[in-house]
Amino acid sequence: MGTVSDLSVDQLPQRSPLSAITDAAGVCSIRFAVPGQVAWEVSQITVEMPDAPIGATAFLRVNGSLVTPLIPTGDAAAGDPPLPVYAGDVVEIRWEGATPGDQGRALLIYRTASYRR
Protein backbone atom coordinates (compact mmCIF):
# COMPACT_ATOMS: atom_id res chain seq x y z
CA MET A 1 0.00 0.00 0.00
CA GLY A 2 1.20 3.51 -0.73
CA THR A 3 1.78 6.23 1.81
CA VAL A 4 0.51 9.79 2.04
CA SER A 5 3.74 11.08 0.53
CA ASP A 6 3.17 8.78 -2.47
CA LEU A 7 -0.14 10.48 -3.40
CA SER A 8 -0.36 12.50 -6.59
CA VAL A 9 -3.51 14.59 -7.04
CA ASP A 10 -5.06 14.06 -10.46
CA GLN A 11 -8.06 16.40 -10.59
CA LEU A 12 -10.13 19.08 -8.91
CA PRO A 13 -12.08 18.26 -5.73
CA GLN A 14 -15.19 16.14 -6.11
CA ARG A 15 -18.34 16.26 -3.96
CA SER A 16 -20.49 13.25 -3.20
CA PRO A 17 -23.69 13.58 -1.16
CA LEU A 18 -24.64 10.33 0.61
CA SER A 19 -27.54 9.32 2.85
CA ALA A 20 -29.11 6.41 4.73
CA ILE A 21 -32.16 5.76 6.91
CA THR A 22 -31.95 4.72 10.58
CA ASP A 23 -33.05 1.11 11.11
CA ALA A 24 -35.30 -0.30 13.87
CA ALA A 25 -32.27 -0.79 16.15
CA GLY A 26 -31.42 2.94 15.97
CA VAL A 27 -28.40 2.46 13.69
CA CYS A 28 -27.78 4.50 10.57
CA SER A 29 -24.75 3.54 8.51
CA ILE A 30 -23.28 5.08 5.36
CA ARG A 31 -20.52 2.91 3.89
CA PHE A 32 -18.49 3.51 0.76
CA ALA A 33 -15.35 2.26 -0.92
CA VAL A 34 -13.02 3.71 -3.52
CA PRO A 35 -13.85 2.21 -6.92
CA GLY A 36 -11.20 0.67 -9.16
CA GLN A 37 -7.46 1.07 -8.69
CA VAL A 38 -7.34 4.68 -7.55
CA ALA A 39 -7.07 6.43 -4.20
CA TRP A 40 -8.99 9.32 -2.72
CA GLU A 41 -7.49 12.16 -0.75
CA VAL A 42 -10.45 13.08 1.49
CA SER A 43 -10.28 16.66 2.76
CA GLN A 44 -13.68 16.79 4.51
CA ILE A 45 -16.61 14.63 5.52
CA THR A 46 -19.61 16.55 6.81
CA VAL A 47 -22.40 14.71 8.64
CA GLU A 48 -25.92 15.73 9.57
CA MET A 49 -28.88 14.19 11.37
CA PRO A 50 -30.73 17.23 12.73
CA ASP A 51 -33.27 15.21 14.74
CA ALA A 52 -30.75 12.89 16.42
CA PRO A 53 -31.81 12.52 20.06
CA ILE A 54 -29.65 13.41 23.04
CA GLY A 55 -27.38 10.47 23.71
CA ALA A 56 -26.99 9.47 20.05
CA THR A 57 -23.42 8.94 18.88
CA ALA A 58 -21.66 9.18 15.52
CA PHE A 59 -18.26 7.95 14.36
CA LEU A 60 -16.11 7.97 11.25
CA ARG A 61 -14.13 4.76 10.66
CA VAL A 62 -11.83 3.39 7.95
CA ASN A 63 -11.61 -0.40 7.76
CA GLY A 64 -13.14 -0.57 11.24
CA SER A 65 -10.53 1.73 12.81
CA LEU A 66 -11.76 4.91 14.46
CA VAL A 67 -10.77 8.11 12.66
CA THR A 68 -12.83 10.52 14.79
CA PRO A 69 -16.03 10.77 16.83
CA LEU A 70 -18.59 13.21 15.40
CA ILE A 71 -21.43 15.30 16.80
CA PRO A 72 -24.48 13.38 15.52
CA THR A 73 -26.68 16.40 14.73
CA GLY A 74 -24.05 18.05 12.52
CA ASP A 75 -20.27 18.06 12.34
CA ALA A 76 -17.32 18.01 9.96
CA ALA A 77 -14.21 15.88 9.96
CA ALA A 78 -11.71 18.10 8.17
CA GLY A 79 -8.22 19.50 8.32
CA ASP A 80 -4.66 18.49 7.66
CA PRO A 81 -3.51 15.98 6.89
CA PRO A 82 -6.14 14.80 4.40
CA LEU A 83 -7.37 11.24 4.90
CA PRO A 84 -5.91 8.85 2.29
CA VAL A 85 -8.43 6.18 1.25
CA TYR A 86 -7.03 3.46 -1.00
CA ALA A 87 -8.70 0.92 -3.29
CA GLY A 88 -10.17 -1.77 -1.05
CA ASP A 89 -10.61 0.51 1.96
CA VAL A 90 -14.12 0.82 3.41
CA VAL A 91 -15.17 4.10 5.00
CA GLU A 92 -18.14 4.09 7.37
CA ILE A 93 -20.09 6.92 8.98
CA ARG A 94 -22.25 5.37 11.68
CA TRP A 95 -24.86 6.83 14.00
CA GLU A 96 -26.10 4.80 16.98
CA GLY A 97 -28.96 5.58 19.35
CA ALA A 98 -30.86 7.46 16.62
CA THR A 99 -34.61 7.42 16.06
CA PRO A 100 -35.78 4.75 13.59
CA GLY A 101 -36.72 6.35 10.28
CA ASP A 102 -34.44 9.39 10.69
CA GLN A 103 -32.18 10.17 7.76
CA GLY A 104 -28.44 10.55 8.16
CA ARG A 105 -26.69 12.64 5.52
CA ALA A 106 -23.05 13.10 4.66
CA LEU A 107 -21.12 15.17 2.16
CA LEU A 108 -17.75 13.84 1.08
CA ILE A 109 -15.19 16.25 -0.41
CA TYR A 110 -12.20 14.53 -1.98
CA ARG A 111 -9.67 14.43 -4.80
CA THR A 112 -8.92 11.37 -6.88
CA ALA A 113 -5.25 10.52 -6.61
CA SER A 114 -2.86 7.93 -7.94
CA TYR A 115 -0.23 6.26 -5.79
CA ARG A 116 2.81 4.03 -6.04
CA ARG A 117 2.80 0.62 -4.36
CATH number at residue 50: 2.60.120.730
Is the pTM for the entire model greater than 0.75?
yes
**Residue-level pLDDT at 1:** 37
**Residue-level pLDDT at 16:** 83
The span from the CA of 20 to the CA of 30, in Å, is: 6
**Residue-level pLDDT at 58:** 98
15 falls within a domain = yes
**Residue-level pLDDT at 115:** 61
58 falls within a domain = yes
1 falls within a domain = no
Domain hosting residue 83, numbered range? 9-114
93 falls within a domain = yes
For the chain of 117 residues, list the mean pLDDT of each consecutive stretch of 10.
39 78 97 84 95 96 96 94 90 97 94 70
3 falls within a domain = no
User: 46 to each of 5, 10, 24, 82, 85, how far by Cα in Å?
Assistant: 25, 23, 24, 14, 16
4 falls within a domain = no
What is the domain count for the chain?
A: 1
**Residue-level pLDDT at 91:** 94
50 falls within a domain = yes
**Residue-level pLDDT at 64:** 96
